Structure 1
Amino acid sequence: MSLKVLKFGGSSVGSAEALRRAAAIVKDELPSGGLVVVSALRGTTDRILDACAAAGAGRVSEAQAHLAALRDRHRGTAAGLGLLDTVAAEWEPLFDRLDQLLTGMAMLGEATSRGRDSALAVGETLSAHLAAACFGGTFREVREVMRTDARFGKARPQLADLRAAAAPWREALAAGALWITQGFLGATAEGLTTTLGRGGSDTSATLLGEALAADEVQIWTDVDGVLTADPSLVPEARPIPQMSLGEAEALSAFGAKVLHADSLAPGGRAGFRLVVANTLRPSASRTEILPVPPRREPGAVTSVAYKEGLSLLRFPASEGLEPPLEAARRLEEAGALRFGLVSSPAGTLLAVRPDTPAAAKVMETLAASGPELETGWAVVALVGEGLRADPLAALRHLAALGQEPVGGLLTGSSTVSIAFLVPESRLGDLIPRLHERCVDGPRPSRSAGRQKAG
């Protein structure tokens, strides 16, 4: 039997109407059973984090107000589906648990990462119970199988333990069971609750797909698959019907919000098909991410991606590599995303996005100690398997930049992308121009490239 895993994000289960749409998709996609992974209802995770922060700071009434709002919102959604009586018995102990956790944080005067993970688990579990009732399936606790280490807030899966624990699930699902479980959550060997961090729900689905030897994992979101560009900058951007795992990884690294790098690795290891589809338009185009690369014309670019908000640290050549490497380590530990570390006889360039207050503070400290700091930069990437077939095509595409103030080229192990730094202010003009030339325009062949660059 072919086994599928379906994952629905917060926007796909955020209201009674959204849950009804998701239920219709489950009925169509899993007529003979399978596994459904759901996130917390949209906005729930942020509200729980706000409640934890308030409790840890001693603002008990504010924390209790958040709890009351969560209770009212969930009860209202269940009532809208006619399922409040069905889920009430499962929900009340969860709300009580969250109340106890917030009370404990207030007494300690601290919201620890372990405490936050336990609180966040309530949101995921409330959603999974409601989805099980709505979809006509059975709730199963993901912490039975999702084994992780004890890095609370960003736990790492223990793959061998996960596969072993998932064996009974595999047998039941193969026999036709329809199970609904939580995303984002895991548990240590001692049974302590953990969360998988950013992109955790998608990662949960693909990890479970790997452990269950699934043939396909579907990520249901609010866009028609992976697009050729950001539609806010390129209105004519269109879904990519099929793409390779390498293309997906490159797009994830360089800004595609619909994909997260951690969720792609299980597909690379297990070889299942990963599908991205739109809950709002189930019959619309979708993207299949395939373990075997689809055929591309030499030089073809599949998508143009970007990430704004980057800062550049420039270290003089006289300092060698040790200071920039130490700076990169400190920034990443503080939550920054590193996009490039380029060294040359002229010096070393470190490109990062300081996504947390802690990282921004480290950046300020580093800039005060010597290296030159520049803000307001972005990274732009051209991505496509066609670049692997014709590596020189990347240089021809870059000719389209003309006199653009490029801050540097970023290279890595991937042969399906080329990335470069530009001022943020140029994105609105540059992304549509690159999309028109590299994605919509004629694909340059090797011979054409030799005759005329650009």
Structure 2
Amino acid sequence: MKVLKFGGTSVAHSQNIMLVENIIKKESQNNRIIVVVSALQGVTDQLIKAAEAASHNNENYLQILKNLEEKHLDLVKDLIPFSEQSSWLSFVKKHFNDIEDICNSIFILKEFTDRIKDKITSYGEFLSSNIITARLKSNGSDAFWMDSHIVTDSNFTNAKVNFEATEDNLSQFLNENKNQIIITPGFIAKDAKENATTLGRGGSDYTASIIASVIHADELEIWTDVSGMMTSDPRLVSNAKPIVEISYSEAMELSHFGAKVLYPPTIQPVMVKNINLRIKNTFDPEAQGTLISHHVKKSHFENEQIAVGVSNMSHVALLTVEGSGMIGIPGVSAKLFQCLSQEKINVILITQSSSEHSITIAISEKDVFNAKSAIDSAFEDDLKLKRIDPVKIETDLAIVALVGENMKSRSGVSAKMFGCLGNNGINIRAIAQGSSEKNISIVISEKDITKAVNVLHEEFFESEIKQVHLYICGTGNVGMKLIQQIYSQNEYLKEHLSVNLRIAGLSNSRKMIFSEKGISENEFTSFDQNGQEASAEKFAQEIISRNLRNSVFVDVTASSEVPNIYEQLLKRSVNIVACNKIAASSDFEKYKNLKNTARNHSCQFLFETNVGAGLPIIGTINDLIRSGDKITSIQAVLSGTLNFVFNNYDGSRTFSEIVAQAQNEGYTEPDPRLDLAGIDVARKIIILAREAGYPIEFTSVENESFLPEECMKGSVNDFYDALSKYEDHFRNLLEEAKSKGKILKYVAEFKEGKAKVGLKHIAPESDLFHLYGKDNIVIFKTLRYYEQPLVVKGAGAGAEVTASGVFADILRSV
């Protein structure tokens, strides 16, 4: 014999009930079945709302009842043949008259007790189950309606079941009635005096489980609107997967912490009798669903899956009782939990310090006021004598639980869990893990719940693909190339590196757009017209408020404003990849603070492209230092722009024309003076010296400028006019070098703690001589590389290679 239960969404309206009818008919072909049904969706809440309105002398209760009556009358008209409708329409009207009489009494007496609440709410299931029975019988099914035979105590709204009396009742009924299909209301029961009682939250599921238990059913099926239990809440995690099989204890843990498809009390009765429980989808009856049983097949743990699911619970508060007067005093915990029990306050989670100095409990936020009052009263003397401190309350919290029997005795599970949360800036307020090791529960901020659940789900259930959210600031030459590279390379990254890069935000100096699902190429090309007004601060606040996992902020601007948001992003564990040199070459204390902030918040601050575009220069320095070497000097040509200019300036064209060519080909900053005045090179040598471990300031760099002072005044157009005016000056520099058999290179040097940049005459025997096009070169002398220096050489400018260097940093950051 099977027991089937259909929830409120399954019987929401006539179309859904017809689906239920088909399932019942199919299941009853080979089995005698008992079908437990809920009230129509929303009816129970509306009945309570009507009664509460009546208790406050609000006549709106009459309209609420009228709407409910119409809903049930329409259901009869849709489901029952016309020839049989009259009696059932009268049936509905009669019972709504009874409901109205009860509400009228509440209105007059202004009293709405738990006993009356149970009486009123019992009508929802009573009406739905009778109408569904009538529908089945009208179509020739051997169906019979059974009133609730569950016996309880008189604890109204949350009654305790008398299993022995219930079993006697049901056994007698089933012996006397041999119908193939028995329909019965869920949620409602009766006490010894025949008063209506209810079984509390999830009562219809519990009804079905009680019946399955006492009749020793072959299986209990819970039919709902999802295809079984999921590895996480699909409303929060788009990649949540169905769980094919799960143990009773795992299901109990998941349901306790918010898996709404099943309520914890449902499992206990069938678990005791070792009856299989299956979760099925009314709207996809062919879907496999989830089987809950004592014995889970080994295939459930294929690939050594550690956990079965991630569950969550919102609207949680933490209460902490602490004080020196608690240490070594027996009975403190008992006193605490007793006073909460008397107020019917459920404790969700408990954690206690080993010193016994404090006890922290998690409860529902709605119970905070009553809990504090109860604790203050119970510990009144201790509070007065300062043996304990006033109760500390924290709200706006949530619980996230990682569940799985296979976690037992597996080392590293907690480290993996806390590591991925920490790397995403999720602060854990409290932790609880039972000795059974089936559940690790954490308390976090409510605002972090979506991020935390996704991080854990990705870490334990989606290890094949890591979702990375990129926020790109800057759509100039480098930014455009970077975005194109991301779009073209993403499929390769998914296949070979198990990384999916999603551009979640994009900004330039005018507009910005966001999309959690990723900005498509079409959206990218039109965002300047459709985006919202942008600023660096607004962009940062959007990133923080969206709070997405594995977030990376990418700065491909030359803006002095954008680096101001780095620190607040790093403090939220957002990785930063910067092509912009300003942050790393600003005041040394600011640079050091950013590096420390990144380290303290378990995130990355990467800026390889600050020097040498895509060349591995900073990475090389880091490797040398980490391996114990020390850099003693650096000599370098660090400006692809200046190298391009002096490699191409041979007197056949003007100096101004060569600079314009460099700008047109994307080798210069938007304002070429940053390159030609040596400011950009000075920033680069500062960055290299700092990464080598020297606390050097930008103002200490000796800059031997070759530009006449007039070139530095006015606009970019004025700059080009001045270059043309001083062509003889530039030609003299060139001829002087030629006369000595040398060439011009703009060189950066660092030695003995001092840095300088300037135009040099380079002889043919120098490593700097044979440097062509826009190439850069860096020559390191170290304790290990003293006689034969370490040389890094290659293309040091250009949007394509710079973008590829930024791309590489993005991949390093995740």
Query: How high is the TM-score relative to the length of structure 1?
Result: 0.89
Paired residue for 1:118? 119
Rounded to whole Å, the distance in 1 between the matches of 2:49 and 2:227 is: 31
| Alignment equivalent of 1:411, drawn from 433, 449, 469 | 433
In the TM superposition, what is the alpha-carbon distance from 1:439 to its structure 2 partner?
1.9
Deviation per CA, 1:217-264: give whole Å up to 9, x if none.
111111111000111221010110110001100001111111111111
In the TM superposition, what is the alpha-carbon distance from 1:81 to its structure 2 partner?
2.0
Change (3 A) 1:118 1:414: farther
Rounded to whole Å, the distance in 2 between the matches of 1:172 and 1:4 is: 18
Paired residue for 2:56? 57
Rounded to whole Å, the distance in 2 between the matches of 1:170 and 1:414 is: 40
Deviation per CA, 1:4-48: give whole Å up to 9, x if none.
111111111110101011101111122243110001111110111
In the TM superposition, what is the alpha-carbon distance from 1:114 to its structure 2 partner?
0.7
Rounded to whole Å, the distance in 1 between the matches of 2:146 and 2:443 is: 44
Rounded to whole Å, the distance in 1 between the matches of 2:284 and 2:164 is: 37
| Alignment equivalent of 2:348, drawn from 316, 339, 349 | 339
Paired residue for 1:160? 164
Amino acid at match of 1:438: F
* Paired positions, count: 434
In the TM superposition, what is the alpha-carbon distance from 1:57 to its structure 2 partner?
2.4
Paired residue for 1:242? 245
Rounded to whole Å, the distance in 1 between the matches of 2:375 and 2:216 is: 49
After the TM superposition, which segments of 4 or more aligned residues of structure 1 sit over 6 Å from their partners? 366-369
Change (3 A) 1:420 1:303: same
Equivalent residues of 1:336, 1:354 under 8 A apart: no
Equivalent residues of 1:41, 1:127 under 8 A apart: yes
Higher relative contact order (CA 8 A, sep 6+): 1
1:362 matched to 2:370? The reply is yes
Larger mean Cα displacement after TM superposition, 410-419 or 153-162: 410-419
Percent of aligned pairs sharing the same letter:
28
Change (3 A) 1:79 1:333: farther
Paired residue for 2:323? 317
Change (3 A) 1:335 1:46: farther
Paired residue for 2:4? 6
Rounded to whole Å, the distance in 2 between the matches of 1:326 and 1:413 is: 24
In the TM superposition, what is the alpha-carbon distance from 1:164 to its structure 2 partner?
1.1
Alignment of 1:40-439 (within 5 A): 40-59=39-58, 61-83=59-81, 84-85=85-86, 87-136=88-137, 138-143=143-148, 145-171=149-175, 175-295=178-298, 296=301, 300-320=306-326, 326=335, 328-331=337-340, 334=343, 336-344=345-353, 345=355, 346-355=357-366, 359-363=367-371, 365=373, 370-388=390-408, 390=410, 393-402=413-422, 404-412=426-434, 414-439=436-461
In the TM superposition, what is the alpha-carbon distance from 1:107 to its structure 2 partner?
2.8
Rounded to whole Å, the distance in 2 between the matches of 1:111 and 1:413 is: 44
In the TM superposition, what is the alpha-carbon distance from 1:381 to its structure 2 partner?
0.9
Amino acid at match of 1:55: A
Equivalent residues of 1:315, 1:324 under 8 A apart: no
Larger Rg belongs to: 2
Rounded to whole Å, the distance in 1 between the matches of 2:144 and 2:68 is: 21
Deviation per CA, 1:170-204: give whole Å up to 9, x if none.
4367x552111100011011211100011100000
Amino acid at match of 1:407: R
Rounded to whole Å, the distance in 2 between the matches of 1:138 and 1:93 is: 23
Larger mean Cα displacement after TM superposition, 90-99 or 246-255: 90-99
Amino acid at match of 1:39: S
Rounded to whole Å, the distance in 2 between the matches of 1:333 and 1:229 is: 34
In the TM superposition, what is the alpha-carbon distance from 1:424 to its structure 2 partner?
1.9
Deviation per CA, 1:383-437: give whole Å up to 9, x if none.
1121136365344443333354211211236432111122222222221121111
Larger mean Cα displacement after TM superposition, 198-207 or 394-403: 394-403
Amino acid at match of 2:316: L
Change (3 A) 1:414 1:159: farther
Rounded to whole Å, the distance in 2 between the matches of 1:269 and 1:391 is: 31
Change (3 A) 1:44 1:319: farther
Larger mean Cα displacement after TM superposition, 83-92 or 30-39: 83-92
